[in-house]
Structures are given as C-alpha cells and as structure tokens.
Amino acid sequence: MSDKPYTCVFFDWDLTLVRVLGDISPEERLTALFQKEGMPYTLREVQTAIRRYRADLQSGHLKRTSSQQTQRDITRYYQDVLARLSHADQGWDWATYLYNAYALLPQVPYEETMPVLQALQAKGFKLGIVSNHSRLIRPIVEEMLKDFVSPEMIVISQEIGVHKPAKTIFRAACAHAQEDPANCVFVGNHLFVDAIGAVEEGEFGLGMWLDRKENNQQLTRIPERMVRITSLWDVLNYV
C-alpha cells in the first residue's frame, strides 16, 4: 500500500474508463443511438439539429441547464434534439427509453484503463465506480471490470435516485467501501461534477480531473485537494 493516506480509488465510467463506440464525437454517438433505435438520421442532420439547439440556448429561446448530468436533463436533451429534427414527439417514455438504450451501445475501454486498474490493485487499493448512468450499465461494468471491482463497489445514479455531484451519491460509495471519505480518491473527466463535486460535496481526500483534451481555460476555480491530470497513468503519481 502507498504511504499516502488513501485506501480507495473511485472512478467515473463514461469518458473516464471507457468511451462509447470508441474515439468518435458526441454527435456521432448520438447519431448511432438514433439509428440503432430506428431513426435513420444522418450525422449531418444531427449536427445541424444540435447547432440549432445550442443557438436556442444562447438566445434564451430555450431554458435548460448548461450541463446534462441527471437522467431528466439527458432525456430532455434527446427530446430537444429530436424536435429540431422535426421528429414526431413520442413522449417522455420514449425519450427515457433512449436514455436507457445508450447504456447498451458498445463500451470500449481506453488503452490504459486495465493496466492502471491492475497497478492500483497490486498496490492494495479498493477500487470502485460512481456513474451517472442507467441501471442497464451495471452488468456491462461488472463483466468488464470483474477482475478489479466487486459489484457492491459499483454505484449507479439511476439505482439510488441521485446523481453526481450530490453529496449523497459520494457518501453512498464510501459506505459501500466501508471507508472514510477522507481516505478516498475520485477520478473523473468532468471538472465540476467529478473532481470538485467529490471534494466539496463528498469530502473526498482527493479529486482528480481527467482532462485528456487539456482544456486549461476551464480551470476557473480549483479547491484544495484537487488536481488536474491528462492520462489515467497520472493517477499512480498521486496515490
């Protein structure tokens, strides 16, 4: 075990350990989801709809949160984009179905994911997942990480009815690990939801913002006990 005070490392899932369908854009992922569910829109059509959606946000014509993190926000986003594709409104249940269907798209781990988890396991750390996701992702996570993460160490927002960065979901993860939050580290690709949320809301000992795109301009407020990394390999330098 490391001589540092940490005993447990939790990770976000999507865009931290894996990327859906590999190295493609968010617009390509959404197009793939629509096509998989029988809506044959082209990438160009989806891109145009998303640009119209963003323009409506900027103009104030549409009132929405700036970041989709909760199931409600993501489901509404699907509805908003489909509306700008002139798709007939099939109601909230259909949009919720799309939210769950996203979990069933192929999940491709980053090249460093398994080696980093193996190295952390070898150092004696407990490992876990905290994800804002559909409950349908659970069997996929369990199977992919079966050598490193036990099922009780996987916390899914839809299962417990609360999303990051709420204190409740971070505390639930620590309770499952039977660890004090101060002994826990969180690694995620979203600065505020993951790294800052874990520290300020969850009172984790350390929050790591995994900034693969090196977006330095987003470093507007960084609390103590938070670091920015650009690769999962960097986690090993801090624990």
SS3 content of the chain, % helix, strand, coil (to 5): 50, 15, 40
Query: Region 102-116: what's the mean pLDDT?
Result: 97
What pLDDT shows up at residue 89?
83
Interval 152-199: pLDDT, tens: 999 999 999 999 999 999 999 999 999 999 999 999 999 999 999 999
Q: Is 86 exposed, middle or buried (CB count within 10 Å of its CB: 0-12, 13-18, 19+)?
A: exposed
Global pTM reads 0.92
d(CA 32, CA 38): 10
Q: Is 19 helix (H, G, I), strand (E, B) or coil?
A: strand
Answer yes or no: is pLDDT of 209 > 70: yes
What pLDDT shows up at residue 65?
77
Interval 36-79: pLDDT, tens: 999 999 999 999 999 999 999 999 999 887 677 899 999 999 99
Contact 133, 14 (CB under 8 A): yes
Contact 163, 73 (CB under 8 A): no
